[in-house]
Amino acid sequence: MTRKILAVDDSRTMRGILKKVLSGAGYAVDLAEDGEDGLDVLSRSVPDLVITDINMPKLDGFGFIDQIRRQDALRAMPVLVLTTESAAELKDRARSAGATGWIVKPFEEDKLLAAIRMVVA
């Protein structure tokens, strides 16, 4: 069964890269450009995994995850955070916001896919 991933990033470039890498690896990909947009997509279709950027307009990554975790249907969905900071505190913050894991940008393709395989069967 094809797994679906929702990738949320306000940068069109990053969305393009994610789309390319993920669909290249055989995943179905939904895209959204900020947290609000992401919630909108989620209200219509629930993926197997969400990958989200942190710094975004309107609703940032932390707020987005928080909203996801508030919804019963999405509570246990894996959410990976894309971050340019590898600092431990950022990971901690992502963790306390409810992120399942994190990927440090810029990522290598196989690192990203390895991280995804950590959370999606």
Partner 1 sequence: MNDLLEGFFEECEELLEVLGDGLDAMAAGTADDSTINAVFRAVHSIKGGAGAFGMDVLVEFSHAFENVLDEMRAGKLALTPALTALLYQAGDHLNSLVEASAAGGATTSDSHHDLIRDLKAACQSLSEAQDTALEDDPTPEDFGFMPLTIDLDGPDEAAVEDSPGTHYEIRFAPHAALYELGLEPVLMLRALHDMGEVDVEATCDRVEPLKSFSSGEADILWRIRIKTEVPRPELEQVFEFTRDLCDLDIFEIDDVSAAAEPEMTADQSTPVPKVTKQVAPGPLSTSEPMASATTQRAPGKSRKSGRDTLRVELDRVDRLVNIVGELVISEAMLRQSMSDPEMSSNSSAANAMAQLKQLSGELQESVMAIRAQPVRGLFQRMSRIIRETTRETGKEARLVTEGDATEVDKTVTERLVDPLTHMIRNAVDHGLETPDAREAAGKPRIGTVSLSAAHRSGRIQIQLRDDGAGINRAKVRETAVRKGLISASEDLSETETDNLLFMPGFSTNDSVSNLSGRGVGMDVVRSEIQALGGRVSIASKAGEGTTFTISLPLTLAVLEGMIVSVAGERLVVPTTSLRETVRVSEASVHLFGQSERVLAMRDGLIPIVDLGERLGFRASVDVQVDQSLLLIEADSGRRVALAVDQVFDQREVVIKGLEQNYQQIPGIAAATILGDGRIALIVDTDQMIPQGPAVTEQSDAGARHGDLTNA
Residue 112 as a binder of partner 1 (CB under 8 A): the answer is no
Residue closest to 82 by CA, chosen among 58, 115, 110, 41: 115
Q: Does 30 bind partner 1 (CB under 8 A)?
A: no
CA 20 to chain centre: 15
Q: What are the backbone angles phi and psi of residue 95, rounded to the nearest 5°?
A: -60, -50
- Closest contact distance (angstroms) between CB of 39 and partner 1 is 6
Give the shortest CB-26-to-partner 1 separation in angstroms. 17
- Separate counts of helices (H) and strands (E) for the chain: 5, 5
Asked if residues 65 and 98 have their Cβ atoms less than 8 Å apart, the reply is yes
- Site residues for partner 1, 91-110, by CB under 8 A, read 91-93, 95-102, 105-106
What residue ranges bind partner 1 (CB under 8 A)? 10-14, 16-17, 20, 33-34, 36-37, 39-40, 43-44, 53, 55-60, 62-64, 66-67, 71, 75-79, 84, 88-93, 95-102, 105-106, 114-115, 117-121
